[in-house]
Structure 1
Amino acid sequence: MAGLAAQTDIPDLTDIIKSDTAVEKDTARAEGQGMVKLLTIDGAIGPITVQLIEKGIRKSEQENAQALIILLNTPGGLTESTWKIIQAIMNANVPVVVYVYPQGARAASAGAYITYSAHIAAMAPATSMGSASVVSMGSEMDSTMYKKVTNDAVANMVAVAHKRGRNEAWIERAIREAVSISSHEAVDSNVVDLVAEDIDDLLNKIDGREVEVSMGFHVLNTAGALKTEVKKTFSEKFLEIITNPNIAFLLFSLGGLGLVLELYNPGAILPGVVGGICIILAFFSFQTLPINYAGLLLILFSIVLFLLEIKVPSYGILTIGGIVSLVLGGVMLIDSPAPYLRVSWYVIAAVVVVFVGFFGFAVRYVVKAHHKQVTTGAEGLVGLIGKVKQKIDPTGLVLVAGELWRARADEPIEKDERVKVVSSDGMEIKVEKHSE
């Protein structure tokens, strides 16, 4: 019995392991600062998005945040930027939670890739994700190249899904067949981890979860956590705006218009300066977008045609050509079938109206100037009334418009009589008596 009693005093090995694990989790929770970082990504994925997410991860690590929560709502984006974001998330030393939010939001195309790479993937009710087929960014891909790019995307995302323990078959279908899934279906199909009503609900549901980051395991302490936002700097907001395809088209078109105005009216300075700045910003934007240079050349050609309309009387033919060229250039500028990367028809129409209005005014001004009566030199005196200062017989002097002119008449005209200028010949004018 003594031996049995001594034996029962020895703790069970399983209990020790469980106890140690609980202590480790409690310690991890105690060490947490009870703070999470929030980063909103709303719009197409691009180079600026990469900068924002990398900054969010870096700040979260530096401030010992419990997690970086990315509030995602995107139609998709650039492939290169998407892979950079996935790499940043996979190598983060802080848990990254991608939350498709708010209700009605979507994580389409690139958004599905990013959601799959998160340590925890969550969706708000009435949201969706998927349609992750490869979209050509640049020249059209032939069937062989399309298969190659698609297979590469599938291989990468299946590997990511395996690492995160998510449905590998579904992400392959999303890429190959462009399937989509709703939030509640996504949980049932092991596509995402959970559905949360709002951010506070999300924090409560992920509290206590253990996730593996690049440096090891991390237990989340997020219930009631302090929420701080990763804010965009002025430069990030500005760059995000100008890399929008619509803004890029506006900058290039109106920048060209400014330079033309400077050439047409040398010394104006302001149109040239503003136009130059717009062109430089447009080319910066073009570096981040799949540009079709044929579209770029068509826009330049339209500016040339509008400029020629001022110089050459074409009875509107050059203007029509300029409008057609400008519209085609706007449509072809972005070489991608993705709708979120296309220039809006409304923006194209607005630019056409501005161009037609400006050059229409310029043409009208030029025509009016050509038909306007000459107001300088002897020719400008025709029709004016003057006074004879020296008898005209057949020549004499006449004071017209405050100046003395040598005058000729068909009949003698005495001094101080009023005369009317009827014509000019070089520096001499011809007059006749003027009866009031």
Structure 2
Amino acid sequence: MARILFLLFSLLSAFMLPVSPAPAAERKAIVLHVNGAISPATAEYVTRGLRRARDRGVALVVLQMDTPGGLDTSMREIIRAILDSPVPVASFVAPSGARAASAGTYILYASHIAAMAPGTNLGAATPIAIGGGLFGDDERDGEETPGEPDKQEPRKPADAGEAKLINDAIAYIRGLAELRGRNIDWAERAVREAASLSSAAAAREQVIDFTAINLNDLLKQAHGRSVRIGQSDVRLDTAGLFIEDLPPDWRTQLLSVITNPNVALLLMMVGIYGLIFEFLSPGTVVPGTIGGISLLLGLYALAVLPVSYAGVALILLGAGLLVAEAHAPSFGVLGLGSAVALVLGAAILFDTDVPGLQVSWPVLSGIGFASLAFGLLVARLALLSSRHKILTGAEEMIGISGKVDSWEGAGGYVIAHGERWSAVSNEPLGPGEDVMVVGRQSLTLEVARKPT
């Protein structure tokens, strides 16, 4: 279901792309902004921007970056788009204080032109899933002292799986370095040792092409440089280009919000609770409508984010226990189990320790509290309902008073609830006697003489 939603969203995005006339060369440089964690929303924004640049025939695309890293799948999607782009791409780490850590370093290496503003840094390209603790407890990645290569000993892989992950990342970044003629040895150190460099050191080490104060300075220094596009070398003509800023539109911003793990988790919970309320109280409409929409949006987020199947299973178990509490009250036991399962499932749901793509503890605490409160509420309502007098159904007749209408032997007719009922009794009765209903079998009442 989640994959179908992802395909539908992709098709909708494709149809919503603006239709451009035949490409006509424009003396422009389009600026795309990559800020924060690199996510599926970032990849969709960059690839769409590169397609627009290709259709318009612009002279240059500038990726202005400030990122701590991101998802491997999103990073590779962006790099594939850069390598396939007929328009030269210049990655620019800016403004001062920005960084291109982890996935940002790979994108910088893949770009035709790599530049950094003074006071920026790059590196720490070790796959973060190897060393990161739960919810990004290990915050060293991307935070080494700028300007000084990381001196720590490379961390030895714990097992064959980690070794394969590191070697794959090394081979990938070495291939990009060879393609663009950049420092191959340092690229390997960035992965194996999580090494980092400042902008000035990166220029000295031939990791980047140059440092630039701003976009105009970047265009000035890029002018006349030869870059490899496809199978041919192209000399850049960037002097005097008009700079057009292309910030993320509403669709990218919406996708970015939906694919935030905290928002995705909350959407899932709202969807589950809304549908449970709708099933418990059919016809209320609003909880079911809101819950259905929220659940579909949450499922879309699960389709594009790396998730743990164990986390999904625990969340489903928690929802099932909550439903069981409502239909077979255990006076809080199932509700407590539901809260524990939902919190544990949410904690391990997203299989990533990438900064900015983690579930926060306040959200987990809120989910646990809400689940526990809902379970206790259901248990309390069940307890109160068990003490109330039954007002509907066959059991509602038990205990009501009536009067014998006619009687012969062990059976006859009584008037109860203003209606004439067939009745039986274990004791002889006479017309006009007051009786009390003690049981019911289909349309026949079991009655006894009413105590005086």
Distance in 2 of aligned mates of 1:276 and 1:150: 41
In 2, the alpha carbon distance for the partners of 1:72 and 1:54 equals: 15
Question: 1:305 — aligned with what?
Answer: 321
Query: Structure 2: which amino acid aligns with 1:346?
Result: P
Spell out, residue by residue over 1:211-243, the C-alpha distance to the aligned partner (whole angstroms, 9 max, x if none): 3333531323244x3222334444333223222
CA contact (8 A) 1:307 1:359 kept: no
Counterpart in the other structure of 1:78: 71
Question: Post-superposition shift, 1:36?
Answer: 0.8
Q: In 1, Cα distance between the equivalents of 2:55 and 2:34? A: 21
Structure 1 match to 2:190: 174
**Aligned residue number for residue 235 of structure 2:** 218
Distance 1:81 1:378 in 2: 66
Q: Match of 1:68?
A: 61
Task: State the partner residue of 1:112.
Answer: 105
In structure 2, the CA distance between the partners of 1:425 and 1:195, relative to structure 1 (3 Å rule), is farther
Structure 2 residue runs without a partner (length 5+):
1-23, 131-156, 402-416, 421-433, 438-444
Q: What is the root-mean-square deviation in Å for CA atoms of aligned residues?
A: 3.3
Query: Which residue number in structure 2 is paired with residue 246 of structure 1?
Result: 262
| Structure 1 spans left out of the alignment, 5+ residues | 1-30, 383-402, 407-422
Matched-pair contact (CA < 8 Å) for 1:331–1:342:
no
Distance in 2 (CA, whole Å) between partners of 1:281 and 1:361 is 27
Aligned-pair CA distance for 1:62: 2.5
Does the CA contact (< 8 Å) of 2:317 and 2:341 recur in 1?
yes
The match for 2:8 is none
Aligned to 1:102: 95
Q: How far is 1:117 from its partner?
A: 0.9
Return the alpha-carbon distance in structure 2 between the equivalents of residues 172 and 208 of structure 1: 30
Can you list the C-alpha shifts for 1:150-206, whole angstroms capped at 9, x where unaligned?
223222322221222211111100111111222222122211122233333433443
* 1:33 CA displacement: 4.1
Structure with bigger RCO (C-alpha 8 Å, 6+ apart):
2
SS at match of 1:341: coil
The range that moved more, 65-74 or 363-372, is: 363-372
Q: Distance in 1 between matches of 2:384 and 2:344?
A: 32
CA distance in 2 between counterparts of 1:145 and 1:404 reads: 79
Matched residue SS, 1:192: coil
CA distance in 1, matches of 2:95, 2:436: 82
* Counterpart position of 1:146: 162
1:37 CA displacement = 0.3
Q: Confirm whether residue 121 of structure 1 aligns to residue 138 of structure 2.
A: no
Correspondence 1:15-94 to 2 at 5 A: 33-94=26-87
Q: CA deviation at 1:77?
A: 2.2
Question: 1: distance between equivalents of 2:35 and 2:196?
Answer: 19
Residues 183-262 of structure 1 mapped to structure 2, 5 A cutoff: 183-214=199-230, 215-223=232-240, 225-262=241-278
Deviations along 1:271-306, one digit per CA (max 9) or x if unpaired, are: 223322322222222222221111111112222223
Q: Judging changes above 3 Å, is the alpha-carbon distance between structure 1 residues 431 and 183 closer, same or farther for their aligned structure 2 residues?
A: farther
Counterpart for residue 280 of structure 1: 296
Q: Is 1:335 the counterpart of 2:351 in the alignment?
A: yes
The equivalences for 1:336-415 within 5 A come to 336-372=352-388
- In structure 2, how many angstroms separate the alpha carbons of the residues matched to 1:35 and 1:230? 12
Within 2, Cα distance between the matches of 1:117 and 1:339? 22
User: 1:97 and 1:155 mapped to 2: Cα distance?
Assistant: 23
Distance 2:165 2:237 in 1: 37
Q: Distance in 2 between matches of 1:111 and 1:424?
A: 86
Aligned letter for 1:221? Answer: T
TM-fit CA distance, 1:136: 4.4
Q: Which moved more, 1:181-190 or 1:359-368?
A: 359-368
Contact 1:66/1:222 (<8 A) preserved: no
Normalised to the residue count of structure 2, the TM-score between the two structures is: 0.70
Which SS does the other structure have where 2:33 is aligned?
strand
Tell me which residue corresponds to 1:425: 436
| Percentage identity across paired residues of the two chains | 36
Q: State the distance in 2 between where 1:357 and 1:102 align.
A: 47
Q: Shift of residue 70 of structure 1?
A: 0.7
* Counterpart-to-counterpart distance in 1, 2:69 and 2:435: 74
Distance in 1, matches of 2:79 and 2:235, equals 19
User: Contact conserved, 1:89 with 1:117, CA < 8 A, in 2?
Assistant: yes
C-alpha deviation, 1:372, in angstroms: 4.5
CA contact (8 A) 2:33 2:248 kept: no
Change (3 A) 1:321 1:362: closer
Query: Quick one: which amino acid aligns to residue 127 of structure 1?
Result: T
Contact 2:331 2:383 in 1 (8 A): no
What is the 5 A alignment of 1:123-138?
A: 123-136=116-129
Say whether residues 1:270 and 2:270 are aligned partners: no
CA distance in 1, matches of 2:94, 2:379: 52
Structure 1 residue 341: deviation in Å?
3.3
- Quote the offset at 1:343 in angstroms: 1.4
CA contact (8 A) 2:259 2:301 kept: yes
Letter of the 2:436 partner, please give it. Answer: D
Distance 1:343 1:276 in 2: 22
Distance 1:374 1:35 in 2: 77
Write the distance in 1 (CA, Å) between the matches of 2:194 and 2:398. 77
Inter-partner Cα distance in structure 2 for 1:55 and 1:343: 28
Post-superposition shift, 1:74? 2.0
Aligned equivalents of 1:250, 1:375: Cα separation in 2: 38
C-alpha separation in 2, matches of 1:176 and 1:92: 29
